[in-house]
Amino acid sequence: MSSQVKAAALREPLVRIAKRTDISKGQAWAIRAAAILLALVAGGLIVLAMGHNPFLVYADMAGGALGNKTGLKETVKIAVPLLGAALAIAPAFKMKFWNIGAEGQILAGGIAATYFALFWADKLPQVPLLLLMFLAAAVAGAFWGLIPAVFKAKWGTNETLFTLMLNYIALGIEQYLQNGPWKDTKGTGFPIIAQFAKGARLPKVFGVHAGWIIVLIFVVLMFLYLRYTKQGYEISVVGESEPTARYAGMNVSKIIIRTMCISGAIAGVVGFMTVSGADYTLNANTAGGVGFTAITVAWLAKLNPIVMVFIAAFLAVLTKGSGTIQTNFGIPKSMADVLTGIILFFMLGCEFFINYRLIFRGKGEAHHG
């Protein structure tokens, strides 16, 4: 080997990362299935180290979430806001507008819905009241999404930081209302907002609030909107390349603003469903981290609304099941959360191997990991 060849070999890194261009859908799903299997094995080893049978623990998680009517209802209640929030951020993410503000948009919707629940419940029948709460939540969420969209479209601000900061502003407004104007004077000494009247509560369908019907309708509408409408096509083009969109004659600023209003409106409706269907009141945990977990749902589903249904259901099973094993096996809630985190880590990590391959020194393009 000549000195030049040796020098070139030394300069070549041990491992290079190259983007995959030839992976089939079948191979991609095989990698995802392997990741889930490895995650279960890794989690099982931790459970085994704690002195429990992993097979029994996993079976108990599944049984607690799906094995009886009560558990199934609770699992659906967990999945509904998660799926709704994932649908909310999907159009923004497809546009490469990183909306990290679903938490604030959910709270904004919850606040708007709560106003009418508290002060209009005795003035309107149930159906008109719920429709008014729905519309108010959508408008409030859309407004909360509009703010960062305008700043991004007009002045090119960083939407990630902007939407994140708006989360804290929405939370501050909620805490002000809870401790001040909307504080329940008839309650205990703790600052809480009064429970909604029956007319301001979503009716139950098959034992779960009707929000699950609303969110499934949103799934179908969002799928059709992103895939088959002109606006959905414009979102894709802007996400691929803003200069290309402008060259094609598209009004990029208008598309950004319109899309974020839609995104915020759906998140606001999630807030309405939470306060009216699940909690019957507004509090600091109305969003409860759902807006952040929804990012994982949307990302794993590749922004496909149909796939989001299954991802959200899977995470809901993990969440409900982790509470069950805490009760039945004495496994701390923190450890149950670690188990859930490991599974999520593997599921997210596998996306790297779907999109990229590892090329080792001397192996060339033909041999890859």
- pLDDT, mean of residues 157-165: 96
In order of 157, 230, 360, the CA distances from 153 in angstroms are: 8, 20, 43
| Per-residue pLDDT, 226 | 97
When mean pLDDT is compared across 84-98, 150-164, 268-282, 349-363, the lowest value belongs to: 349-363
| Per-residue pLDDT, 366 | 44
In order of 162, 221, 361, the CA distances from 196 in angstroms are: 32, 30, 65
CB distance 135 to 265 below 8 Å: no
Q: pLDDT band for 36, please (50, 70, 90 cuts).
A: confident
**Per-residue pLDDT tens digits for 163-198:** 999 999 999 999 999 999 999 888 667 899 999 999
Euclidean distance between CA atoms 96 and 142, whole angstroms: 18
Confidence check: pLDDT of 368 > 50 = no
**What percent of the chain is modeled with pLDDT above 70?**
93
Mean pLDDT for all residues in the chain = 90
| Per-residue pLDDT, 147 | 98
Name the pTM for this structure. Answer: 0.90
CB distance 129 to 276 below 8 Å: no
| Per-residue pLDDT, 8 | 53
Confidence check: pLDDT of 152 > 70 = yes
**Per-residue pLDDT tens digits for 286-300:** 999 999 999 989 988
**Per-residue pLDDT tens digits for 317-331:** 988 888 888 888 888
Beta bridge partners of 360: 15
Euclidean distance between CA atoms 287 and 265, whole angstroms: 15
Confidence check: pLDDT of 82 > 60 = yes
| Per-residue pLDDT, 4 | 59
| Per-residue pLDDT, 327 | 83
| Per-residue pLDDT, 367 | 44
366 or 36: whose pLDDT is higher?
36
